[in-house]
Amino acid sequence: MIPVYAHRYLPAGRGSYGHLVLSIYQTDSIFYGTDLANYIDHEFTVPGMPFSPDWSPPPMVSFWSEFLS
């Protein structure tokens, strides 16, 4: 399992994609999104504030902006 946020995880799998995002806490396992994009949209989007697909975060450290393209 690959940790995403708090007790949310993605199943690990080499060369695979599109897995459910799972919430695993002790013996409880439920899914929180059909894939990572769906989970982020539902978990972190503010109601009434539309998600813009062309938005990109500003680089926090100028050195790393060379790698963000």
Q: Cα dihedral sign for 32, 38, 43, 49?
A: negative
**Alpha-carbon distance 68 to 50, whole Å?**
24
Q: Residue ranges of the domains in the chain?
A: 2-67
Instruction: Identify the pLDDT of residue 52.
Output: 67
> How does residue 3 score in pLDDT terms, banded at 50, 70 and 90?
very high
CB 22 within 8 A of CB 31: yes
- pLDDT tens-digit readout, 6-46: 999 988 877 667 788 889 898 888 888 888 888 888 888 77
Instruction: Identify the pLDDT of residue 40.
Output: 87
